[in-house]
Structure 1
Amino acid sequence: MAAPALIYYVEDDEHIRDLTSYALRHAGFEVRAFPDGSGFIEACREKAPAAALLDIMLPGESGLSLVQQLRANAATENIPVMMLTAKGTEFDKVCGLDAGADDYLAKPFGMMELVSRVNALLRRAARPAQGASGSPAEELGWLSCGAISLSPEARTATAAGVELPLTRKEFDLLRILLEHKGRVLTREQLLERVWGVSFVGETRTVDMHVKTLRKKLAAAAPGAEEAIGTVRGVGYRMREIAL
């Protein structure tokens, strides 16, 4: 029998923390709860959880600060994160996604909804992104565009033969662009296909990931970053270029 998925949960309200932890354990998860960010980051480095649930409003460091720290460290950058927003406003959602969160859930939330969303978060983290046809990317074999190549099955990508140290989201973003090379994909399409969420307003999540992806392409093979073209006011397109 497989071990239960480990969930880290940061919430300063003791009543909410205990109730939510109980619901998650009752649903079959292993839960480790924290009243604030103290010790949470170190715990993630010692043993990465299957997912982390972070309240935005916390004493000391905010949940937004915590997720930024996770994304800035190679040992923790791929941990799936759900932000728990106090108000569920568009601003909170945008801030959470832009900080690097994978999903968000507005308070107050029902425990059944929370468990369902956590399960969905874990499923998205465990499977490859899908293209427009809905076919798993593994069936497509190697994807390439000029000097850039990607293996969905091995989850490796290279530029001019140099392996790219990509985060999970950067990898999925590059895969979607390669699957649709030559076609313009809007920011809304990329947000939905890579992050699994609908458009939530003015967010620079996609732009920021494209920026970091371009930097890694340039570091591996100068000029390779130009393969991701910007279509002003619309989105991005993968194009073949000569290096």
Structure 2
Amino acid sequence: MIYILEDDKSILELILYALKSQNIEAKGFGEPKALKESLKSEIPNVLILDIMLPEQSGFKILEDIKKSEKTKDIPVLLLSALNSEFDKVKGLDLGADDYITKPFGVMELLARIRAMLRRSAKNKPTKDDIVFKNLSYSSINHSVKIDNQKIELTLKEFEILGLFLQNMERAFSRDELLELLWDNYNSESRTVDIHIKTLRQKLGSFGEHIKTIRGVGYKFSKVL
């Protein structure tokens, strides 16, 4: 999930459209209060934050986010018409992960967001145990069970499933999966497809939760 705080409605709609065209879930906010309220119930994978806001400076919002234990780890991309080196340095010093100035190219914005999502997935702390319905995943015991029956997976199948379960509903491109799990060494997208196919087969009905996103890649969906 990507959150966007941007008071210019046309820019907000453009970003939302661009993200959704890439099958990336996104939610937009026109003012800080709505964003803060939503952060109480959901933590996004990335926050796109405008600096020039009428009610409160984006710098102050960023500062508050980085001070909170609950939200401090959210990757933040600053979006602003401010183009001075001072403003960029200030934003980065306050904890922003990236900075892009208006006017911006949509393709560049998407590329920066995808890079942040990759870094976020790679650096995300791994839960020792994950339970989804009657499927259980244990990184400590290196085991997967369905109805308490152990499922034999190869190392890469196990890693793919773990990544998906850690990031449910998040779409991964084939290139992202190669970079995260194969480091792109001597591998190609067909390698990912083959592993996904065998993983689906081994998971039985749970394999149906691994959805193919046409033109993008795959995701693990909570609903069939």
The alignment's TM-score, normalised by the length of structure 2, stands at 0.53
Q: What does the per-residue CA deviation read over 1:34-56, in whole Å, with 9 as the maximum and x for residues that have no partner?
A: 11111212212310001000000
Residue 113 of structure 1 deviates from its aligned partner by: 0.6
* Contact map agreement 1:37 1:61 (CA 8 A) in 2: yes
What is residue 87 of structure 1 aligned with on the other side?
Answer: 82
User: What is the 5 A alignment of 1:170-181?
Assistant: none
Structure 2: which amino acid aligns with 1:50? N
- Give the 3-state SS of the residue equivalent to 2:31 in structure 1: coil
User: What is the 5 A alignment of 1:28-177?
Assistant: 28-128=23-123
Runs of 4+ in 1 over 3 A off after TM superposition: none
**CA separation of 1:115/1:13 partners in 2, compared to 1, >3 Å: closer, same or farther?**
same
C-alpha distance in 2 between matches for 1:93 and 1:125: 21
What is residue 15 of structure 2 aligned with on the other side?
Answer: 20
C-alpha distance in 1 between matches for 2:86 and 2:36: 25
Q: What does the per-residue CA deviation read over 1:163-183, in whole Å, with 9 as the maximum and x for residues that have no partner?
A: xxxxxxxxxxxxxxxxxxxxx
- Give the 3-state SS of the residue equivalent to 2:110 in structure 1: helix
- Give the 3-state SS of the residue equivalent to 2:99 in structure 1: strand
Structure 2: which amino acid aligns with 1:87? L
Q: What does the per-residue CA deviation read over 1:176-204, in whole Å, with 9 as the maximum and x for residues that have no partner?
A: xxxxxxxxxxxxxxxxxxxxxxxxxxxxx
- Give the 3-state SS of the residue equivalent to 2:43 in structure 1: coil
RMSD (Å) for aligned C-alpha atoms: 1.9
Residue 107 of structure 1 deviates from its aligned partner by: 1.0
C-alpha distance in 1 between matches for 2:36 and 2:92: 19
Residue 91 of structure 1 deviates from its aligned partner by: 1.4
How many residue pairs were aligned?
A: 126
Structure 2: which amino acid aligns with 1:115? L
Long gaps (5+) in structure 2? 125-138, 141-224
C-alpha distance in 2 between matches for 1:105 and 1:56: 11
Residue 125 of structure 1 deviates from its aligned partner by: 1.8
- Give the 3-state SS of the residue equivalent to 1:25 in structure 2: helix
